[in-house]
């Protein structure tokens, strides 16, 4: 029995509830402290003072996946690392989102060979793809804003 049925399908109440919940989720999304390769350095630049990520609520990077909401896969995922990424994704609690940062995480990038997984979407579902090798901090911020727009479009009827 969903929340909406219990409330008797009161359209007005659920719309306001949607906005409130999505605003809360967007405002303080904690990314996982997870960087694989070169894109991680651009991620660190985005986190630092010139292109500040704290203004999006992402001040804290949680080292443990249990407390993180967002995993930004930044860098090439190799076949040896793929089970680890999958395990981290599984350990995260819902609601969780995935940003695939950079060309290597989105599609295998420059490397089309035996060692690199051709896109992290072979193992985990991705919400936003950010292109670039490595993407500039502005590009990553655009990706994060796109994710925020996507979350604003979420409605409680989908998951409650």
Partner 1 sequence: MHIPKPLDPAAALKSALPDALADVKEFRGETTLIVNREQITAVAQYVRDTPGLVYNFLSDISAVDYYPESSRPERFGVSYHIYSMLYNRRLRLKVFVPEDDTTVSTVTAVWPAANWLEREIFDMMGITFTGHPDMRRLLMPADWDGHPHRRDYPLGYETIQFSFNIEEILKHKPLAKE
Partner 2 sequence: MAIQIPDSEAQEFKWEGSVDELKGLVSDRAITGETMLLNMGPHHPSTHGVLRLLLELDGEEIVTCMPDIGFLHTGIEKNIESKTYEKAVTLTDRMDYLSPISNNMAFCLAVEKLTDLDVPARAQLIRVTCLELQRLSSHLVWLGTHAIDLGAMSVFLYCFREREKILEMLEMLSGQRMMGSYFRPGGVWRDITPEFLPSLRAFLDMFPAKIDDYEALLTKNPLWIDRTQGIGVVEPEVALAWGLSGPTLRGSGVNWDIRKSTPYSGYEQFEFNVPLGEHGDVYDRFYCRVLELREGVKILNQAYARLEKEPTGIFRSNNRKFVPPPRAELGQSMEAVIHHFKLWTEGFSAPDEEVFVSVESPRGEISCYLHGTGGTKPRRVHFKTPSFIHIGALPVMTKGHLIADLVAIIGSIDCVLGDCDR
Kindly list the residues in this chain that would bind partner 1 in the complex (CB under 8 A).
79-80, 108, 112-115, 118-119, 121-126
Binding to partner 2 (CB under 8 A) within 12-51 occurs at: 33-38, 40-42, 44-45, 48-50
DSSP labels, 12-74: HHHHHHHHHHHHHHHHTPPBB----SHHHHHHHHHHSSSS-SGGGT--PPBSSGGG-SEEEEE
How close are the terminal C-alpha atoms of the chain, in Å?
A: 8
Give CA 54 to chain center in angstroms: 15
- The item of partner 1, partner 2, none sharing an interface with residue 126, based on CB under 5 to 8 Å by kind, is partner 1
Q: Which of 28, 60, 63, 145 is in the footprint of partner 2 by CB under 8 A?
A: 63
60 binds partner 2 (CB under 8 A): no
Give CA 112 to chain center in angstroms: 24
Catalog residues that contact partner 2 under the rule CB under 8 A. 33-38, 40-42, 44-45, 48-50, 63, 75-76, 78, 80-81, 84, 88, 110-111, 113-116, 133-134, 136
């Amino acid at each position: 029995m969903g929340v909406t049925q219990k409330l008797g399908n009161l359209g007005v109440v659920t719309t306001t509830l949607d906005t409130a919940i999505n605003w809360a989720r967007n405002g303080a999304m904690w990314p996982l402290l997870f960087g694989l390769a070169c894109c991680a350095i651009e991620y660190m630049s985005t986190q630092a003072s010139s292109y500040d990520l704290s203004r999006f609520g992402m001040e804290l990077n949680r080292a443990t996946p249990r407390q993180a909401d967002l995993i930004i896969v930044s860098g090439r995922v190799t076949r040896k690392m793929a089970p680890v990424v999958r395990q981290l994704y599984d350990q995260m609690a819902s609601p969780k989102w995935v940003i695939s940062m950079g060309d290597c995480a989105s599609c295998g990038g420059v490397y089309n060979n035996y060692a690199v997984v051709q896109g992290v979407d072979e193992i985990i579902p991705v919400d936003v793809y950010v292109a670039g090798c490595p993407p500039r901090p502005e590009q990553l911020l655009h990706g994060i804003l796109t994710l925020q727009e996507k979350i604003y479009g979420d409605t409680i009827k989908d998951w409650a």
